[in-house]
Amino acid sequence: MSNFYLCLLLAGLCVLASCHHVPGHQGGHDGHEHPPDNQPTAESHQESDHLPCLKIAPSSAEFAFKFYRQIASKTPDKNIFFSPMSISTAFMLVTLGAKGTTRDQIVSGIGFNKSVLSMEEMGNGFRHLLQLLNHPSAHHGGLSVGNALFSTDRYPVQQKFMDEAHDLLQADIVPTNFQNTEEAMKHINSYIEKKTHGKLVDVLNDLDPETAIVLVNYIFMQGYWQRPFNPMFTEKEDFFVNNETTVQVDMMHRTGYYSNYHDEELGCKVLRIPYQGSASALFILPKEGKLKQVEQALGREHLLKWEAGAREWLIELSLPKVSLKTSIDVKEIFQEMGVTEVFTDQADLSGFTEQRNLKISRAVHKGYLNIHENGTEAAATTVIEGVPMSLPRVFKFNRPFLFMIVEHFTRAILFCGKLMNPNEH
Q: Are residues 95 and 174 in the same domain?
A: yes
Other beta carbons within 10 Å of 33: 21
Give a yes or no: residue 377 inside a domain.
no
Per-residue pLDDT, 8: 59
Regions of the chain short of the pLDDT cut 50: 1-2, 13-32, 37-47, 140, 375-389
Q: Are residues 276 and 182 in the same domain?
A: no
- Residue-range definition of the domain harbouring residue 344: 4-18+46-223+323-370
Cα–Cα distance between 397 and 399 in angstroms, integer?
6
Give the H/E segment covering residue 56.
Answer: helix 52-74
Cα–Cα distance between 281 and 395 in angstroms, integer?
14
Q: Are residues 67 and 180 in the same domain?
A: yes
Q: Are residues 302 and 184 in the same domain?
A: no
Per-residue pLDDT, 49: 62
Cα–Cα distance between 9 and 205 in angstroms, integer?
12
Give a yes or no: residue 218 inside a domain.
yes
Per-residue pLDDT, 386: 33
Per-residue pLDDT, 141: 55
User: What single DSSP character describes residue 132?
Assistant: H
Per-residue pLDDT, 286: 97
Total domain count, the chain: 2
Q: Are residues 62 and 201 in the same domain?
A: yes
Q: Are residues 96 and 143 in the same domain?
A: yes
Q: Are residues 145 and 268 in the same domain?
A: no
Chain-centroid distance of CA 167 in Å reads: 23
Per-residue pLDDT, 363: 85
Q: What angle do the packed helices 52-74 and 119-133 form, to 10 degrees?
A: 90
Per-residue pLDDT, 35: 52
Q: Are residues 87 and 73 in the same domain?
A: yes
Of 327, 365, 361, which Cα lies nearest the Cα of 342?
A: 361
Per-residue pLDDT, 5: 58
Cα–Cα distance between 102 and 106 in angstroms, integer?
7
**Beta strands at 401-407 and 322-329: parallel, antiparallel or unpaired:** unpaired
Residue 149's domain is classified under what CATH number?
3.30.497.10
Q: What's the whole-model pTM score?
A: 0.87
